[in-house]
A and B are shown apart, each in its own frame.
Chain A
Amino acid sequence: MSEPAKIYGLIAEFGDDRVLVEATKAARAAGYRNVDAYAPFAVDGLADAIGFRRDRMPLITLLGGIVGGVGAYLLQWYSAVLDYPINSGGRPLHSWPAFIPATFEMTVLGAALAAFCGMLIANGLPRLHHPVFNAPDFDLASRNRFFLCIEARDPLFDRDGTQRFLAQFEPVRVGVVPW
């Protein structure tokens, strides 16, 4: 089979998650930076191996919760005290204990929406197509196989050298990812 004109990278296919973690660590140690590891489930230690440190999900979720909670409280205060003050059984207009339930619910809603949308946006989703889907056997990445891809844009990428590098971990195969 002829080599495609433009390639996205080289991809090694493994049957075992431990080999993938090991190969990922070795690729990082060898100086490769544009490295992606694919697994059918969340493999412990894989994100560390790939050098992923900045997981901003907790911060995004916290901010979403603050926006939801503060927004809901201010809305209640504005509507009950300023815009539509109504004497309800002699209670104070700013009857804060009664404002707690809606504030709590909106805090949770804001945080949950931020967590969900933040996860998608940070992960670059939705993105229905991606060059890595062109890789041979990649349909097994969601079933039982583990993949390590070294992208062609990596400064150290070398068509033959990288292939030799990946082959030393005895993968099921090393494939070319056409662009």
Chain B
Amino acid sequence: MSATTSAGAPRPADSERGVLARNYSYASISDKISDLVLERPAGPGWIAAMALCTALLLLFIVAIGWLFYEGVGIWGVDIPVAWAFALTNFVWWVGIGHAGTFISAFLLLLRQKWRTSINRFAEAMTIFAVAMAGLMPILHLGRPWFFYWLMPYPSIMNVWPQWRSPLVWDIFAIGTYIIVSVLFWYMGLIPDLATLRDRATTRGRQFAYGLFALGWRGEARQWKRFETAYLLLAGLATPLVISVHTVVSLDFAVGNTPGWHSTIFPPYFVAGALFSGFAMALTIAIPLRAIFRLHDFITDRHLENMAKVLLVCGLIVGYSYATEIFIAFYGGDPFETFMVKNRMLGPYAPIYWCVLALNVALPQALWLRRVRRNALALFAVAVLVNIGMWLERFMIIVASLQRDFLPSSWGTYAPTFWDWAILIGSLGTFGWLFLMFVRFLPALSMSEMRKLAHEKAEGVV
């Protein structure tokens, strides 16, 4: 046999061993997922969604530009309600990010194989959500161009950050979280970028994917170090995700406002974060699966498992609501009891009851297997839970601030057009980033799917 290198030689048939749903082999997994990026033209659904998201992105840019020019007075915030939409958006977006890390890191450590086909886009969701979250406190600063004063650096003013303030902890938590999320996501992408580099047919794509693949060769030593480092990053990201929302909750719990000053806040916020995050993961997974016909990779079992996590988180959130009410009355503090009564019957009572309906009552439908197995019903539940969780954050922030200790300092809050523009604009920007992601990067991890196919063939899973 001669050492042939001629390009025209036909490639022999594959030994197609690896199977997944419907006998997927290593080759067909790689081809199907990379073709979403390399071959398939942008469909009308993608173009329509992109048009809408681009319009909202422009709205976001205009809203931020006007805010920087005119100041936070364009929002409805005032004393006593100095924190409103921006902080609500912040807490909500960070929470959404947490489910992505939970799926990719926590479930990896627990060896939950079903995470494999959903971890990539869940991580992308994390990064884009945390990017939106990170903008919100900066926009809210009043003098956003001085945001770097929060960082410890040897400034000529000879001052240092106040290390006892949760707001300083916050910038460390969010900053670390976004860097670690990007590292984790990019590292997982490297072998897939190499696949795209090798399968791309145009020079430009070969160059771009090749550049970002960093010359990955898939050598045995490379894989070994890669796997160890990936597992270590997962082990680091898991406590990190808990710490981030704990620190976010301390922004509130360290203040003495009734409705904020409570030791239940860290676990309550972390559960709420996972709850809203899994809702957002479902909100994205269901249309993604339908548009790109990924039913063989994102199966009904994935949706059902995510629905179960959603249900459990919903129960923990419901329990936290109950505990908050119980402690307010059991503790006997008049300001705390007033806070609970004000939430139930005060000016923002409709929001309170919506929160209970959407976050506590509605998820109970997920006890039914029929609902968990029905993509459309699940999508509806997920969207409504997202809305419910945003309202919950709004309720915690605004309904607590507007009635504090002295009736003479009470006030109300109503959002302006620019409040809404920031919220809707951030949603559009998130969507825009996500649409760009599914167009240019593999939405599912090809290398992990190949490993899954291998394990399936070996009878491991």
Which residues does chain A contribute within 8 Å of B161, judged by CB atoms?
79
**CB-based contact A143/B199 at 8 Å:** yes
Partner of B3, one of A61, A99, A126, A174: A174
Interface readout for B231-247 with A: 1 if CB under 8 Å, 0 if not?
Answer: 01100110110010001
Of the candidates A109, A113, A115, A173, the one having the most CB atoms from chain B within 10 angstroms of its own CB is A115
A-B contacts, 28 of them at CB < 8 A, read A15-B15, A41-B450, A52-B221, A57-B225, A58-B228, A65-B236, A75-B152, A79-B160, A79-B161, A95-B163, A101-B166, A105-B176, A105-B240, A108-B180, A108-B240, A112-B184, A115-B183, A116-B183, A123-B226, A126-B215, A128-B210, A141-B198, A141-B218, A142-B198, A142-B218, A144-B25, A176-B3, A176-B5
For the complex, is A163 an interface residue (Cβ under 8 Å from B)?
yes
Which residues does chain B contribute within 8 Å of A91, judged by CB atoms?
164
Which residues does chain A contribute within 8 Å of B447, judged by CB atoms?
40-42
For the complex, is A70 an interface residue (Cβ under 8 Å from B)?
no
**CB-based contact A108/B228 at 8 Å:** no
**CB-based contact B247/A61 at 8 Å:** no
Q: A179 → chain B, closest Cβ, in Å?
A: 13
**CB-based contact A141/B217 at 8 Å:** yes
Are A112 and B180 also in contact (CB < 8 A) when A37-B220, A84-B160, A106-B172 are? yes
**CB-based contact B26/A40 at 8 Å:** yes
Which residues does chain B contribute within 8 Å of A30, judged by CB atoms?
none
**CB-based contact B217/A38 at 8 Å:** yes
Task: Using CB atoms and an 8 Å cutoff, list the residues of chain A in contact with chain B.
Answer: 1, 3, 10, 15-17, 24, 36-43, 46-47, 49-50, 52, 55, 57-58, 61, 65, 72, 75-76, 79-80, 83-84, 86, 88, 91, 95, 98-99, 101-102, 104-106, 108-109, 111-113, 115-116, 118-120, 122-123, 125-130, 132-133, 136-144, 163, 167, 172-176, 178
Name which of B187-195, B337-345, B401-409 contacts chain A.
B187-195
CA distance A66 to B30 in the complex (A): 39
Partner of A1, one of B5, B15, B31: B5
CA distance A175 to B222 in the complex (A): 22
- A-B interface pairs (CB < 8 A), number: 227
For the complex, is B179 an interface residue (Cβ under 8 Å from A)?
yes
CA distance A61 to B225 in the complex (A): 12
For the complex, is B17 an interface residue (Cβ under 8 Å from A)?
yes
CA distance A105 to B210 in the complex (A): 33
Which residues does chain A contribute within 8 Å of B229, judged by CB atoms?
57, 61, 115-116, 118-119
**CB-based contact A105/B224 at 8 Å:** no
Within B147-187, the residues touching A (CB, 8 Å) are 152, 158-164, 166, 168-169, 172-173, 175-176, 179-180, 183-184, 187
CA distance A111 to B42 in the complex (A): 40
Which residues does chain B contribute within 8 Å of A79, judged by CB atoms?
152, 160-161, 163
**CB-based contact A136/B4 at 8 Å:** yes
Partner of A175, one of B5, B166, B214, B225: B5
**CB-based contact B219/A37 at 8 Å:** yes
Name which of B6-14, B66-74, B276-284, B322-330 contacts chain A.
B6-14
- CB nearest to B247 among chain A residues: A101
Which residues does chain A contribute within 8 Å of B220, judged by CB atoms?
24, 36-39, 43, 46-47, 49-50, 52
Partner of B232, one of A61, A140, A176: A61
**CB-based contact A41/B163 at 8 Å:** no
**CB-based contact A39/B223 at 8 Å:** yes
CA distance A130 to B243 in the complex (A): 42
Which residues does chain B contribute within 8 Å of A76, judged by CB atoms?
152, 163
For the complex, is B296 an interface residue (Cβ under 8 Å from A)?
no
Are A125 and B4 also in contact (CB < 8 A) when A84-B160, A109-B180, A119-B187 are? no
Place the interface of chain B in its size category: 35 or more
For the complex, is B335 an interface residue (Cβ under 8 Å from A)?
no
Which residues does chain B contribute within 8 Å of A75, judged by CB atoms?
152
**CB-based contact B216/A101 at 8 Å:** no
- CB nearest to A117 among chain B residues: B183
- CB nearest to B198 among chain A residues: A139
- CB nearest to A109 among chain B residues: B176
Closest 10 CB pairs of A and B: A15-B15, A126-B214, A144-B26, A47-B224, A79-B160, A139-B198, A119-B229, A101-B169, A144-B27, A57-B228
- CB nearest to A3 among chain B residues: B3
CA distance A37 to B220 in the complex (A): 5
Q: A49 → chain B, closest Cβ, in Å?
A: 8
**CB-based contact B225/A43 at 8 Å:** no
**CB-based contact A50/B221 at 8 Å:** yes
CA distance A121 to B243 in the complex (A): 29
Interface readout for B417-444 with A: 1 if CB under 8 Å, 0 if not?
Answer: 0000000000000000000000000000
- CB nearest to A24 among chain B residues: B220
Q: B395 → chain A, closest Cβ, in Å?
A: 26
Which residues does chain A contribute within 8 Å of B243, judged by CB atoms?
101, 104-105, 108
Which residues does chain A contribute within 8 Å of B183, judged by CB atoms?
112-113, 115-116
CA distance A1 to B6 in the complex (A): 7
Q: B39 → chain A, closest Cβ, in Å?
A: 14
Which residues does chain B contribute within 8 Å of A43, judged by CB atoms?
220, 223, 454
Q: A132 → chain B, closest Cβ, in Å?
A: 6
CA distance A25 to B198 in the complex (A): 28
Q: A143 → chain B, closest Cβ, in Å?
A: 5
Are A139 and B199 also in contact (CB < 8 A) when A1-B4, A111-B232, A173-B4 are? yes
Which residues does chain B contribute within 8 Å of A143, judged by CB atoms?
26-27, 30-31, 195, 198-199
Which residues does chain B contribute within 8 Å of A102, judged by CB atoms?
163, 168-169, 172
